[in-house]
Amino acid sequence: MASNDLMVGLEIGTSKICVVVGESRTDGTTKILGVGQAPSRGVRKGEIVDFETAMQCVAEAVADAEQKSDLMIKSVYVGVGGAHIQSFNNRGSVLLPDDRDEIDEQDVEDAKISAREVSIPAQNAFLHCIIQHYHVDGQDGVLNPLGMLGQKLEADYHIIHGVRTRIQNTIRCVKELPLEVEDVVFTALASAQVVLSQQQKNLGALVIDMGGGTTDYILYVDGAVKQSGAIGIGGDHITNDISMGLRIPMARAEKLKTDEGSVTLGNCLPGETVVLKDDSGFAGKEIERETLNTIIHLRVRETFELLKKQLDEENFINYIGEGIFITGGCSLLPGIDHLAEDIFEIPARVAHAQTMSGLTSAFQNPQFATAIGLIKYAQAVQVERPQRRGLSRLISKFLPGIR
Residues near ligand ATP (CB under 6 A): 11, 13-16, 40, 46, 81, 187, 211-214, 234-236, 239, 254, 257-258, 261, 328-330, 332-333, 367
DSSP state of 61: H
Cα dihedral across residues 372, 377, 383, 385: positive or negative: negative
Residue 124's SS3 state is strand
Nearer to ligand ATP, 64 or 254 (CB): 254
Closest distance to ligand ATP from the beta carbon of 396 (Å)? 27
Using alpha carbons, select from 251, 345, 334 the residue that is nearest to residue 296: 334
Nearer to Mg ion, 224 or 375 (CB): 375
DSSP state of 277: P
Q: What is the CA radius of gyration of the chain?
A: 22
Question: Which partner, Mg ion, ligand ATP, none, binds residue 92 by CB below 5 to 8 Å per kind?
Answer: none
Closest distance to ligand ATP from the beta carbon of 287 (Å)? 16
Closest distance to ligand ATP from the beta carbon of 64 (Å)? 15
Strands (E), 28-117: 30-39, 43-44, 47-48, 75-80, 86-95
Question: Which partner, ligand ATP, Mg ion, none, binds residue 352 by CB below 5 to 8 Å per kind?
Answer: none
Question: Which partner, ligand ATP, Mg ion, none, binds residue 200 by CB below 5 to 8 Å per kind?
Answer: none
Nearer to Mg ion, 188 or 348 (CB): 188
Q: Give yes or no for a contact between 375 and 22, defined as CB atoms under 8 angstroms apart.
A: yes
Give 293's Cβ-side CA count (13 Å radius): 20
Closest distance to Mg ion from the beta carbon of 79 (Å)? 7
Question: Which partner, ligand ATP, Mg ion, none, binds residue 236 by CB below 5 to 8 Å per kind?
Answer: ligand ATP
DSSP string, 203-218: H-EEEEEE-SS-EEEE
Question: Which partner, ligand ATP, Mg ion, none, binds residue 14 by CB below 5 to 8 Å per kind?
Answer: ligand ATP
Cβ contacts of 236 within 8 Å, gap of 6 or more: 14, 15, 212, 213
Of 11-50, binders to Mg ion (CB under 5 A) are: 13
Of 356-375, binders to Mg ion (CB under 5 A) are: 370
Closest distance to Mg ion from the beta carbon of 400 (Å)? 27
Which DSSP helix (H) or strand (E) runs through 230? strand 224-231
Question: Which partner, ligand ATP, Mg ion, none, binds residue 296 by CB below 5 to 8 Å per kind?
Answer: none
Closest distance to ligand ATP from the beta carbon of 178 (Å)? 23
Q: Around Cβ 169, how many Cβ atoms within 10 Å? A: 17
DSSP string, 286-303: EEEHHHHHHHHHHHHHHH
Nearer to ligand ATP, 195 or 330 (CB): 330
Question: Which partner, ligand ATP, Mg ion, none, binds residue 254 by CB below 5 to 8 Å per kind?
Answer: ligand ATP
Nearer to ligand ATP, 219 or 330 (CB): 330
**Is 211 one of the binding residues for Mg ion (CB under 5 A)?**
yes
Closest distance to ligand ATP from the beta carbon of 383 (Å)? 27
- How far apart (Å, rounded) are the C-alpha atoms in residues 401 and 403? 7
Give 211's Cβ-side CA count (13 Å radius): 34
Q: Given the rule CB under 5 A, which residues bind Mg ion?
A: 13, 211, 370
